[in-house]
Amino acid sequence: MARTPLMAGNWKMNLDHHQATHLVQKLAWTLKDAKHDYSAVEVSVLVPFTDLRSVQTLVDADKLELSYGAQDVSAHTEGAYTGEISPVMLAKLGVTYVAVGHSERRQYHGEDDALCAAKVASAFGQGLIPILCVGEGLDIRKAGEQVAYTLAQLEGGLAGLSREHAAQVVIAYEPVWAIGTGEVATPEDAQEVCGAIRQKLAELYDAELAEGVRVLYGGSVKSGNVASIMSQPDVDGALVGGASLDPEEFAKIARYQ
């Protein structure tokens, strides 16, 4: 089954809503440049909550070929959860994707697999597509336990998920030691874990489902290293942090061939 590559830019906690407008406009012009063809790839931006309305307005007004999403979502739909953002609110803003379990949420906010599973379910409950982030830290990698560790996170984050929803989920393999460090995984490292993720999906559900799920790599992806990572059979795109703040660089990443 052909999987449409997804290039998702994670802006993290950068850019206010004015800056977001400029970046999306520049990105849109770059993607419209007739010299390059982006039709075979989906480009998306995961923006701070406060930028969503600006991005939505631009995407709708200019009919941009750009999807957008949030970097987190509440496990609850409404109520006394001060500071949380509900999937209902995100759905009203035209959001397609929500990142769940990014390593920075796991590390700084103590998010565990059970909470990730609840967020995955909450996203699907409102028609949003979760990008479930998994990946090992340096100590686990040094111990050679990256596959077992990452698959345990995967299984935990998908716990209780129906086949119908699992068929739509996006998985991002992001080795923590490669995020924001400039130290990218080798293509073989990325393939080892992304391939194991696909195999695990086949075990948890079935082979047909596993063939259709997009598995992204994330961790210091740049225009200079994306092609070799994308050449791996089980890598279907990239979750891009720092480099997605530069629209020209991000567009180059999106046309990785």
Active-site residue set: 102, 174
* Minimum distance from residue 180 beta carbon to ligand PEP (Å): 4
Cβ closer to ligand PEP: 124 or 217?
Answer: 217
Q: With respect to ligand PEP, which residue has the nearer C-beta, 157 or 218?
A: 218
Alpha helical stretches, state H, the chain: 17-32, 52-61, 87-92, 103-109, 113-125, 138-142, 146-157, 163-166, 187-204, 207-212, 226-230, 247-254
Which residues in this chain contact ligand PEP in the complex, by CB under 6 A? 10, 12, 174, 179-180, 218-221, 239-243
Residue with tokens 């998010």: 111
Q: Which residues contact 248 (CB under 8 A, 6 or more apart)?
A: 26, 30
CB of 104 to ligand PEP, least distance (A): 7
Distance CA 76, CA 251 (A): 35
Q: Is 94 within any annotated ligand binding site?
A: no
Query: What is the C-alpha separation between 116 and 172, in angstroms, rounded?
Result: 13
Smallest gap, in angstroms, from Cβ of residue 82 to ligand PEP? 26
Shorter beta-carbon distance to ligand PEP: residue 86 or 96: 96
Q: Is 12 annotated as a binding residue?
A: yes
Instruction: For residue 10, say whether it is annotated as part of any ligand binding site.
Output: yes
Start-to-end CA distance of the chain, whole Å, equals 20
Report d(CA 231, CA 112) in Å as an integer: 32
Q: Is 67 annotated as a binding residue?
A: no
Q: Which residue has the tokens 């990218």?
A: 184
* Nearest distance in Å: CB 90, ligand PEP: 19
With CB atoms as reference, the residue minimizing the distance to ligand PEP is 241
Extract the annotated binding site.
10-12, 180, 220, 241-242
**Annotated binding-site residue numbers for substrate:** 10-12, 180, 220, 241-242
